Amino acid sequence: MIRKLTKQMLTAQILSALTVSLCLLIDSVMIGRFLGVEAIAAYQLANPILLVIGALGSMLAAGIQVVCSRSLGRGSQKDTNVGYSSAVALTLGVSVLLTVLVLVFRSPLATAMGAGREGGLFDQTKGYLAGFIIGAPASMGALILVPFMQLAGKNKLLIAAVLSMTVADVALDLINVFVVHGGMFGMGLASSLSYYAALIIGGFYFLSKKCVFRFSLSDVKKSKIAELFSSGVPAVFNMASGVVMIFILNKILLGTGGSDAVAAFSVIMTLGNTSNCVSTGIGGVSLTLAGIFYNEEDRSGLKELAANLGRYSVILGAAVGILMAVFAPQLVKLFITSAGKIRDMAGLGVRIFAVGLIPRCINNALKNAYQVMDRVRLTEGISILQCAVFPVLAAFLLSRFLGTTGVWFFFLMGELLTILGICLYVHRRTGSAPWKNDAFLLLRDDFSVPPDRLMETELHTIEEVTAAAQEAEQFCRKHGQNARITNYIALCIEEMAGNTILHGFTKDRKPHHLSVRVLYKEDAWILRFRDDCGSFDPVSYIPHGEKDALGIRLVLAIAEEARYTHSLDLNNLMLKLPVT
């Protein structure tokens, strides 16, 4: 089930990240083809401000993934709703404030970014900032709704929303260039309106009765807002480091190659950000699923997830990198139509960038997993080294020998040095090679329970349910449980797993999965049932007049505690029973 879930989430994450990147790519293409090289330079100079907006949205989105995966891993739907309500209220307040501040101070911001105090470069940078910031509430709102759509299992809706954003951006860019002639302000405004289009489409689900999350002003809690901020801080380190890196590299390039080098860097970064949809998707899946498995104390689930993400990192990173390297001249030509120095510089930079995609994917998977596994400081350290220190250091040193060409190694060297640093850190902490067993996960020795206290199985038929109930009886007797507890646990498996197969598996002709996990602790037995059938909450709703409902009522009466959550389009039921 983990492999299927990883593949589904990864597909949606990559497509949504790709579509968002395409909007930026489209803007760059339109600017380069119709507004000129100076406009490309203005777009690049405005980029740090755009990254700040993205950093805030990404911080909240990451905080949501960490906080809500934590509450869902504990089986608390109520706490998840508190996180949802607090995140929506916080995003609205922050985005409106940010919009006002940038509109008021756009001129000094343009100057601070290196556009000067007057002239064409200054006016175009200021204009693009004004147009783009109008969409800050929508862009940040869309960013925070992405993890909630993922947690709700609404991957198709997520894809539809981001596709609508791409279509709207293309149409509005064309209108701006050929009809309105709004210049850089119009290009920024086109992006803003496309974000609103995505937010409207995605927002319909959250306003419907089918939404698994419930917004309430009474659920907006200061403590939860603080938790969202603190949990999202590593994303701020990541984005802020990127802002610092771009700012410094712009300065280095202005010294080595002038505005031509900055324009080439803009093309490299735009194409690079588009290709990074793979690493972004892998990192997003790692953040969500690792958080759930970690809070369930599921060591085997974490190992399987890491193996899947490692495999996808190599396959997808290599595939995208090869395509990017092979078609670099054609991709660069989309932005810069005339042959010359700028196009040659950008083409070489794109090819060097492509080599770093595999280590980028691996680094993102690891650092996001560390974030939700209570190693926040490690994640922050990796982000600073990966996105600022190593790339800037490499660009600075290599530019001294290779000029502008040396700067283009910033991404590749930053990722290679980061993965080397992670390996050295893991070896120092564990005394083992990172790739042996699960050393790279840096889990505590007392994490989860010993293998002999855990029973896990996948069920597909009633016969397998019966066999699993018998296996559970033997498992309980092995740990010295009396006949009453042994029979209770077997009964829970027979009733809950049996009902899922009899009713959930037969509602459609699709293949389904059901996993059962029996965990023996010192003070309790924990049973977890997880299936991908239609939504059904046995804790709060029991169908009347049905024979099977008697079995469900009996199970709930036996259990000391029962918790149900619907996340990732999966039913998750946790039962707690006493030990002998």
What 3 state SS string does 408-427 have? CCHHHHHHHHHHHHHHHHHH
Sign of the Cα pseudo-torsion (204, 208, 213, 217, in order): positive
Pairing state of beta strands 525-531 and 561-567?
A: unpaired
CA 239 to chain centroid, in Å, comes to 14
Q: Is the pLDDT of residue 250 over 60?
A: yes
Query: Rounded CA gap, 253 and 263, in Å?
Result: 10
Contacts of 385 (CB under 8 A, 6+ apart): 414, 417, 418, 421
Res 315: pLDDT: 93
The whole-number pLDDT of residue 414 equals: 92
User: Residue 409 — φ and ψ, nearest 5°?
Assistant: -85, 5
pLDDT at residue 14, rounded to an integer = 78
* Highest CATH level, class, for 451-577: alpha beta
- For every residue of 480-530, DSSP letters joined together read T--HHHHHHHHHHIIIIIHHIIIIITTSSSS---EEEEEEE-SS-EEEEEE
Report the distance separating Cα 234 and Cα 354, nearest Å: 25
- The pLDDT value recorded for residue 526 is 87
Whole-angstrom distance, CA of residue 563 vs CA of residue 366: 30
pLDDT over 70 (residue 357) = yes
H helical segments located in 210-340 = 222-256, 258-275, 277-295, 299-326, 328-333
What is the enclosing helix (H) or strand (E) of 572?
Answer: strand 570-577
Contact, 369 vs 227, CB < 8 A?
A: no
With a pLDDT cut of 70, the percent of the chain lying above it is 96
**510 falls in which pLDDT band (50, 70, 90)?**
confident
Question: How would residue 419 be classed by pLDDT, with cut points 50, 70 and 90?
Answer: very high
Looking at residue 389, its pLDDT comes to 92
**In the predicted structure, residue 354 carries a pLDDT above the cut 90:** yes
Among 45-54, 83-92, 219-228, 326-335, which is the least confidently predicted range?
45-54
Tokens of 2: 């983990």
Residues 302-307: contacts with CB under 8 Å, at least 24 apart = 302/369, 302/438, 302/441, 302/443, 303/438, 303/441, 304/2, 304/3, 305/2, 305/6, 306/365, 306/369, 306/438, 306/440, 306/441
Residue 270 pLDDT: 81
Highest mean pLDDT among 16-20, 137-141, 361-365, 443-447: 361-365
All structural domains of the chain with their residue ranges: 2-440, 451-577
Task: Label residue 545 by pLDDT band (50, 70, 90).
Answer: low
User: What mean pLDDT comes out for the span 564-578?
Assistant: 82
pLDDT, residue 541, reads: 61
Residue 477, C-beta contacts closer than 8 angstroms, at least 6 positions apart: 486
Compute CA distances 490 → 451, 467, 554, 571, whole Å: 20, 10, 13, 20
Using the 8-state DSSP alphabet, how is residue 297 labeled? T
Quickly state the pLDDT bin for 544 (edges 50, 70, 90): low
Residue/partner pairs of 523-526 with CB below 8 Å, 24 or more apart = 523/579, 524/560, 524/576, 524/577, 524/578, 524/579, 525/476, 525/485, 525/489, 525/576, 525/577, 525/578, 525/579, 526/574, 526/575, 526/576
**431-455: average pLDDT:** 79
Q: What is the strand order of the sheet 561-567 is part of?
A: 454-459, 514-520, 525-531, 570-577, 561-567
Place of tokens 């010993």: 450
Q: Which pLDDT score, from 0 to 100, does residue 106 have?
A: 86
Does residue 52 carry a pLDDT above 80?
A: no
- The predicted pLDDT at position 417 comes to 95
Which residues make Cβ contacts (< 8 Å) with residue 568, sequence separation at least 6?
Answer: 5, 9, 150, 151, 153, 288, 292
Residue holding tokens 């797993």?
497
Residue 375's DSSP bridge partners are none
Q: Please, what is the average pLDDT of the chain?
A: 84
Lowest-confidence pick of 274-283, 311-320, 343-352, 435-444: 435-444
Residue 548: pLDDT band (50, 70, 90) is: low
Mean pLDDT lowest for which of 171-185, 243-257, 350-364? 243-257
* HSE-CB for 501 with a 13 A CA cutoff: 18
**What are the residues whose beta carbons fall under 8 Å from the beta carbon of 468, sequence distance 6 or more?**
457, 459, 493, 497, 516
pTM of the model: 0.72
C-alpha–C-alpha distance, residues 524 and 420, integer Å? 42
**d(C-alpha 123, C-alpha 106), whole Å:** 10
Would you give the distance in Å from CA 266 to the centre of its chain? 24
Least reliable range by pLDDT among 121-135, 251-265, 395-409: 251-265
Q: Which residue has the tokens 């307040």?
A: 93
Q: Which residues have a Cβ under 8 Å from the Cβ of 471 and sit 6 or more positions away?
A: 455, 457
Of the ranges 180-189, 337-346, 392-401, which one carries the lowest mean pLDDT score?
A: 337-346
Residues 410 and 403: their CA atoms lie apart, in Å, by 13
pLDDT at 547: 56
Which of the two residues, 27 and 494, has the higher pLDDT score? 494
What average pLDDT does the segment 170-184 reach?
89
Pairing of strands 525-531, 454-459: unpaired
According to the model, what pLDDT value does residue 371 have?
Answer: 85
